[in-house]
């Protein structure tokens, strides 16, 4: 897969693994857009990579997801790689916290780690369809991987993770 000359969106790109992915794409001569909730982190990333595009977005809020997609459609219609990897992970001690508190935290975790990925991917399909057709005509491969999901699968179901990677 050619890793330069793309327009790349990295969700959660202001920190951690997502920031490292954004940085790698940036240094491979791609137009990189990162989004996240924390404007301070996004600004720090912009200071490091001057041509980086930043967008503040809370992926648990439908209106912010729609606004992100509208901006992508208007300004970045050549979006060809989307790394929907924003995520949260908490460790819960169910015997030490209120059940309501635990359930609210779990709902938020599922919203960010699963629902937001599906919603953002679905809303980006009109952008992606055009780009995917052009990529297919040029014999480029199209791969969709949720990195954190694959890590989770690998932790609990290693044989399934190995099969997913073997097929991709």
CB distance 30 to 5 below 8 Å: yes
Instruction: State the pLDDT at residue 124.
Output: 80
> Domains in the chain and their CATH numbers?
7-167 (3.40.50.720)
Q: Count other C-beta atoms under 10 Å from residue 35's C-beta.
A: 26
List per-residue pLDDT tens for the chain, 168 residues long: 677 888 999 998 888 888 888 999 999 999 999 999 999 999 999 999 999 999 999 988 999 999 999 999 899 988 888 888 777 777 777 778 888 888 888 888 888 877 888 888 788 877 766 656 665 665 555 444 444 444 444 444 455 445 544 554
The predicted pLDDT at position 116 comes to 84
Report the chain's terminal Cα–Cα distance, integer Å: 12
Enter the pTM of the model.
0.73
Count the helices and strands in the chain (H runs, E runs): 7, 4
């Amino acid at each position: 897969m050619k890793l330069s000359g793309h327009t790349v969106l990295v969700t959660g790109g202001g920190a951690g693994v997502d920031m490292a992915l954004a940085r790698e794409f940036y240094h491979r001569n791609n137009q990189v857009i990162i989004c996240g909730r924390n404007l301070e982190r996004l600004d720090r990333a912009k200071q490091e990579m001057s041509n980086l595009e930043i967008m503040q977005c809370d992926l648990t809020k439908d209106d912010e997801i729609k606004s992100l997609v509208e901006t992508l459609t208007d300004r970045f219609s050549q979006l060809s790689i989307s790394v929907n990897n924003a995520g949260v992970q908490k460790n819960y001690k169910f015997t030490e916290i209120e059940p309501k508190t635990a359930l609210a935290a779990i709902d938020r975790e599922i919203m960010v780690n699963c629902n937001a990925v599906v919603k953002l991917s679905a809303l980006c399909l009109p952008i992606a369809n055009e780009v995917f057709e052009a990529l297919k005509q040029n014999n480029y491969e199209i791969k969709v991987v949720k990195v954190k999901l694959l890590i989770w699968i690998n932790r609990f179901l290693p044989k399934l993770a190995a099969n997913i990677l073997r097929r991709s």
